[in-house]
């Protein structure tokens, strides 16, 4: 059995820290402390229910095949949603077992938050959600007020320089659109390490962080990574994201109607604030905010090029070279889906025939990247 206990919060001079201890009978976890750190001003809005850590631990428990015990009360609606979540995950990945969940009872007389927020990384997907909401007609939807910017997801907690640079860009965005910025730190990613790919875990991690401040919010937006055309098993998904909802907090999956290129054409390309502050890189090679070399940077540069906006984007300082595109790493289903979207967009607008050939070469079964990988294995 996997046990979650000792859920509590405490103050420092600047932060409220929500913690829990995780233990497992098989010894995989031994008093592992999971924590989320929120600005001190939200101390009264931080919840010590079992909801946050249920979201954090359900996938590890399924992966280990261990039943889950939460030594706190939980949301009845969330528990039902997690039941459906397990069924979906089990169909996607049969080695993730459906388990039993024990707890200390259901929450009662829960106070309801009034605010609407979203997770904001500064990437294409989150900018699209923000701008679409900002540009929606008055009264059509609740306006997003809070931007949740998390250190410990794609930016490691110890990576101080990149975090500070990324935070400075997010501050400019929050100021330009008059939003309240909530910087958050967490080590929740560590609980999945050695067990679950981040591609599958990051939605649960987002839910865990948001449920930690569920007293503040009535609605949280999670930006879609994929369009309806290319939906596949993924950490954030229109089937699974709403299942993290409680009686007082609704999770909204947003943006499946658009490909990455369409997101730039419809929203980002019209906002110089977005183009001046766009951040997508998680490798941060040579300490760069966007390294312009990794698959995600190159994929986004292709998005921007196809939308005619690359020259206007100030956070990509490198040039989009044909050789770099031809040598792109296209290995996973997700990387192939993004490459296909870019290929379709480039062919449609006919901007650069040589670039189209380079991308087609990268997508080939015998791409330069795959050939290098095969040679490396042999020798």
- Is the predicted pLDDT of residue 291 greater than 70, yes or no? yes
20 with 167, same domain: the answer is yes
- Is the predicted pLDDT of residue 68 greater than 80, yes or no? yes
- Is the predicted pLDDT of residue 378 greater than 70, yes or no? no
- Is the predicted pLDDT of residue 55 greater than 70, yes or no? yes
187 with 221, same domain: the answer is yes
pTM, 2 dp: 0.93
The pLDDT score that the predictor gives to residue 266 is: 97
The pLDDT score that the predictor gives to residue 15 is: 98
The pLDDT score that the predictor gives to residue 349 is: 82
pLDDT tens digit sequence for 302-339: 999 999 999 999 999 878 999 999 999 998 888 888 99
91 with 26, same domain: the answer is yes
69 with 205, same domain: the answer is yes
Give the integer Cα–Cα distance in Å for 378 and 29: 37
Mean pLDDT of the chain: 94
Q: What is the CA radius of gyration of the chain?
A: 21
343 with 225, same domain: the answer is no
- Is the predicted pLDDT of residue 281 greater than 80, yes or no? yes
- Is the predicted pLDDT of residue 348 greater than 70, yes or no? yes
271 with 334, same domain: the answer is no
Residue 285's pLDDT band, with cuts at 50, 70 and 90, is confident
Give the integer Cα–Cα distance in Å for 223 and 204: 13
In 120-245, the DSSP E strands lie at: 146-151, 180-186, 217-223
Residue 357's pLDDT band, with cuts at 50, 70 and 90, is very high
Structural domain ending residue among the three candidates 217, 252, 279: 279
The pLDDT score that the predictor gives to residue 111 is: 75
DSSP string covering 32-47, please? Answer: EEEEEEEEGGGGGG--
Q: Are strands 68-70 and 101-103 parallel, antiparallel or unpaired?
A: parallel
Range of the structural domain that residue 350 is part of: 286-378
Give the integer Cα–Cα distance in Å for 105 and 110: 13
Residue 379's pLDDT band, with cuts at 50, 70 and 90, is low
Give the burial string for 46-68 (b: 16+ CB within 10 Å, else e). Answer: bbbbbbbbbbbbbbbbbbbebeb
- SS3 of residue 155 by DSSP: coil
Residue 184: count of CB within 10 angstroms of its CB:
21
∠ Cα 129 115 35 (to 5°): 85
Residue 65 contacts residue 99 (beta carbons within 8 Å):
yes
- Is the predicted pLDDT of residue 86 greater than 80, yes or no? yes
Residue 242's pLDDT band, with cuts at 50, 70 and 90, is very high
131 with 226, same domain: the answer is yes
The pLDDT score that the predictor gives to residue 305 is: 94
DSSP string covering 116-135, please? Answer: EEEE--SSHHHHHHHHHHHT
75 with 191, same domain: the answer is yes
Give the integer Cα–Cα distance in Å for 379 and 365: 20
Q: Name the more confident of 24 and 374.
A: 24
- Is the predicted pLDDT of residue 236 greater than 80, yes or no? yes
Distances (CA, A) of 336 to 224, 226, 296: 17, 12, 12
- Which run of H or of E encompasses 357? helix 353-363
Mean pLDDT across 8-33 = 96
Residue 242: count of CB within 10 angstroms of its CB:
16
What percent of the residues of the chain are helix, what percent strand, and what percent coil, each to the nearest 5? 45, 15, 40
The pLDDT score that the predictor gives to residue 159 is: 85
- Counting the structural domains of the chain, the total is 2
154 with 234, same domain: the answer is yes
pLDDT tens digit sequence for 160-198: 999 999 999 999 999 999 999 999 999 999 999 989 999
Residue 372's pLDDT band, with cuts at 50, 70 and 90, is confident
Among 24, 38, 331, which residue's Cα sits nearest to residue 191? Answer: 24
Q: What percent of the chain has pLDDT over 70?
A: 98
Structural domain ending residue among the three candidates 279, 300, 322: 279
57 with 193, same domain: the answer is yes
The pLDDT score that the predictor gives to residue 230 is: 87
246 with 371, same domain: the answer is no
Residue 309: count of CB within 10 angstroms of its CB:
19
- Is the predicted pLDDT of residue 369 greater than 80, yes or no? no
Mean pLDDT across 39-65 = 98
The pLDDT score that the predictor gives to residue 168 is: 97
Residue 99 contacts residue 66 (beta carbons within 8 Å):
yes
**Which contacts (CB < 8 Å, 24+ apart) does range 9-17 have?**
9/43, 9/46, 9/48, 11/40, 11/43, 12/40, 13/40, 14/39, 14/40, 15/39, 15/40, 15/185, 16/40, 16/42, 16/43, 16/46
Give the integer Cα–Cα distance in Å for 348 and 330: 21
Structural domain ending residue among the three candidates 244, 260, 279: 279
The pLDDT score that the predictor gives to residue 273 is: 97
Mean pLDDT across 247-257 = 97
29 with 166, same domain: the answer is yes
């Amino acid at each position: 059995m996997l046990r979650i206990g000792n859920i509590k919060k405490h103050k420092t001079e600047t932060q409220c820290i929500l913690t829990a201890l995780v233990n497992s009978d098989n010894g995989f976890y031994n008093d592992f402390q999971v924590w989320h750190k929120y600005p001190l001003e939200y101390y009264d809005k931080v919840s010590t229910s079992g909801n946050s850590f249920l979201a954090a631990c359900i996938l590890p428990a399924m992966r280990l095949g261990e039943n889950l015990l939460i030594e706190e009360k939980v949301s009845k609606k969330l528990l039902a949603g997690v039941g459906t979540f397990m069924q979906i995950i089990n169909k996607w990945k049969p080695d993730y077992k459906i388990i039993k969940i024990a707890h200390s009872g259901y929450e009662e007389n829960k106070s309801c938050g009034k605010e609407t927020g979203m997770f904001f990384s500064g990437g294409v997907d989150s900018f699209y959600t923000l701008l679409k909401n900002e540009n929606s007609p008055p009264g059509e939807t609740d306006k997003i007020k809070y931007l949740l910017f998390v250190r410990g997801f794609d930016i490691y907690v110890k990576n101080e320089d990149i975090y500070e640079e990324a935070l400075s860009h997010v501050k400019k965005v929050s100021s330009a659109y008059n939003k309240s910025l909530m910087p958050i730190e967490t080590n929740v990613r560590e609980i999945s390490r050695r067990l679950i790919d981040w591609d599958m875990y990051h939605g649960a991690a987002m839910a865990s962080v948001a449920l930690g401040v569920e007293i503040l919010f009535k609605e949280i937006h999670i930006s879609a990574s994929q369009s309806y055309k290319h939906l596949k098993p993924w950490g954030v998904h229109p089937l699974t994201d709403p299942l993290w909802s409680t009686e007082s907090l609704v999770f909204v999956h947003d943006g499946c109607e658009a490909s990455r290129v369409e997101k730039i054409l419809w929203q980002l390309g019209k906002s110089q604030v977005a183009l001046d502050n766009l951040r997508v890189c998680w490798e941060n090679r040579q300490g760069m905010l966007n390294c312009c070399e990794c698959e995600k940077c190159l994929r986004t540069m292709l998005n921007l090029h196809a939308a005619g906006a690359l020259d206007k984007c100030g956070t990509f300082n490198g040039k989009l070279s044909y050789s770099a595109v031809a040598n792109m790493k296209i290995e996973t289903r997700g990387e192939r889906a993004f490459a296909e979207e870019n290929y379709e967009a480039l062919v449609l607008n006919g901007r650069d025939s040589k670039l189209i050939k380079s991308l087609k070469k990268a997508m080939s079964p015998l791409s330069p990247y795959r050939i290098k990988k095969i040679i490396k294995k042999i020798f």
